[in-house]
Amino acid sequence: MSHRPDKEYEQLRVSGLHAFYGESHILHGIDLVVNRGELVTLLGRNGAGRSTTLKAIMNMVGRRTGSIMINGEETMSCAPHHIARLGVGYCPEHRGIFSALNVQENLTLPPVVRSGGMSLEEIYSMFPNLYERRFSQGTKLSGGEQQMLAMARILRTGANMLLLDEITEGLAPVIVEKLAEVLIKLKNKGLTIVLVEQNFHFAAPLADRHYVVEHGQIVEEISADELEAKQSLLNDYLGV
Amino acid sequence: MSMIFGVPLAVLAGQLLIGVINGAFYALLSLGLAVIFGLLKIINFAHGAMYMLGAMSTVILFDSLGVNYWVALFLAPLLVGAVGVVIEYFLLRRIAGQDHIYSLLLTFGVALLLGGVLTNIYGVSGLRYAMPDVFQGGMKLGFMFLPYYRLWVIVMALLVCFGTWFMIEKTKLGAYLRAGTEDSQLMQGFGINVPLLISLTYGFGVMLAAFAGVLAAPIYSVTPVMGSHILITVFAVVVIGGMGSIGGAIITGILMGVIEGLTKTFYPPASSAVIFLVMVVVLMFRPSGLFGKEA
């Protein structure tokens, strides 16, 4: 199934995006489109600019040029808290669990940005471990539990586009499996997901499309049904 | 008369009381500094000036508009808090993210400016502020005489300190502050208006200083330089307690006041140096402070 962007609702359109950290020029003109309800991955090697792309969408890098449209609205001049309020949920690399807050405080920290988010009860039934440990210090949880918490945190807010950065990094296979189940559920709910992922075997069966990022640019776009044909090309890019 | 280590009980109790009262002021002031340092990472050298503004505005509001003590208790901190928000919005925000030294120098400059302007108008000899009538007198406790106003200062300082601690540790707004202390950028990425939170936090921190200033007006000499005297001691208290620790600031403040009071009783020449001596010892053995997190 190939998506035709012009026929669907464009939730995110990034055009000619450049980003800088101080003097270093990280993104060199990223162009990508994500439609509502799609799960799109950004693949590439470490340092290719995938995480920076997510951060740039959130306006969390130094300087940016180009254009980022969310729901058809230009956001280059928006502060990060305005971007979140357009329905964007950001799950940072290394999870960003606050050690000064307990699990429940971490979970309820992000304000509700849209209606239709999951209730605390729904979240606890999806992640029973979090309920059991709701009064523990956030950073006392295991890595897997912290990742569940980082995901659960943005599901409560009603965000309908999730930017997920390396959510499987360093986690046991059984946890990774659980995360895949969660992503499938979220996709079935119609959420739009942009996934930065190192673990291609995790991402491949879930995603509708893949963008390959290299040296701060998109070098290849591969839809799910082209994956088999382009596997060797992709392996070259990823260096596997 | 009963004696303890060769000191009459009444003298000891009197010095302890003065120690607790000074400690209450240290606690209020260092609490505000800790709140500001936690979220803004700013070492607020204007804090003494905000304390002074609280006391001065109480006197000036009374002399020019007849505003009484009870109204001043709310009005003066609100006015000074508003001054703080203006300072944050127009000055501190421009140097956010720079090295600590910039905000330290900037707030020091603000303190000098405020002190200088007010000295020019009111001089340094001190303004008089009459004690409200209800607080005249005190109670005899047998071993000592406790003036009502001193009791009021201790109770109010403890209430405000506890209230602030509760707000920060136990409420949603406090969760924002604690989280912002760790990663304010991610907080903003969740949709929280962090720039506004920062302005209000600075305003709240200086409100605490101004509140201490109102409490001080009837018992201390109210002058444009009163803040710079107490500020250095309060910084020592914050260093001892641990930069950014809320509970640590409160406990250390009161403890240091008491230690100062005891030193006054047993070895008066060391009383103005003892807090700094404690600071040196704490820095040698626990550089992050008694209640600070190990770096």
pLDDT on residue A90: 95
Q: Scanning every residue of chain B, which has its alpha carbon at the shortest distance from the alpha carbon of A84?
A: B191
Q: Which domains does chain A have, with CATH numbers?
A: 1-87+161-168+191-240 (3.40.50.300)
pLDDT in tens, A154-201: 999 999 999 999 999 889 999 999 999 999 999 998 999 999 998 888
pLDDT single digits (tens) B180-221: 888 989 999 999 999 999 999 999 999 999 999 999 999 999
Within-domain flag for B292: no
Picking from B178, B183, B188, the nearest residue to A81 by CB comes out as: B188
For residue A28, pLDDT over 90 is answered with yes
Sheet strands side by side (includes A73-74) = A24-35, A10-21, A63-70, A73-74
Distance of CA B18 to the CA centre of its chain: 16
- Cross-chain Cβ contact A109/B182 below 8 Å: no
Is the confidence at residue A1, as pLDDT, over 50? no
Q: Which amino acid is at A181?
A: E
Among B178, B183, B194, the residue with its CB nearest the CB of A96 is B183
CB contact under 8 A, B182 and A60: no
A83/B189 touch (CB, cutoff 8 Å), yes or no: yes
Domain containing residue B50: 3-285
Pick from B169, B170, B190 the residue to mutate for testing the A interface (most A CBs within 10 Å): B190
CB-based contact B51:B32 (threshold 8 Å): no
pLDDT bin (cut points 50, 70, 90) of residue A7 is very low
For residue B293, being part of any structural domain is answered with no
- Residue B1 pLDDT level (bands cut at 50, 70, 90): low
Give percent above pLDDT 90 in chain B: 64
Alpha-carbon distances, residue B239 vs A136, B256, B278 (angstroms): 29, 12, 10
Work out the number of other CB atoms within 10 angstroms of the CB of residue A54: 24
CA distance B54 to B227: 10
ipTM value: 0.86
In the prediction, which pLDDT does B152 show? 93
Q: Do B175 and A99 touch (CB under 8 A)?
A: no
- DSSP tally for chain A: helices H, then strands E: 9, 10
Q: Is residue B201 part of a domain?
A: yes
Residue B67 CB neighbour total at 10 angstroms: 16
In the block, tokens 């009860």 appear at: A121
Domain-located, residue B12: yes
Q: What is the CATH number of the domain that holds B158?
A: 1.10.3470
Nearest CA in chain B to A156: B190
Mean pLDDT of all residues in B129-153: 86
pLDDT score recorded for residue A3: 40
Give how many domains chain B has, as a whole number. Answer: 1
Pick B7 or A36 by higher pLDDT. Answer: A36
> Is B130 a member of any domain?
yes
Let me know if residue B35 belongs to a domain.
yes
Q: Which residues contact A24 (CB under 8 A, 6 or more apart)?
A: none
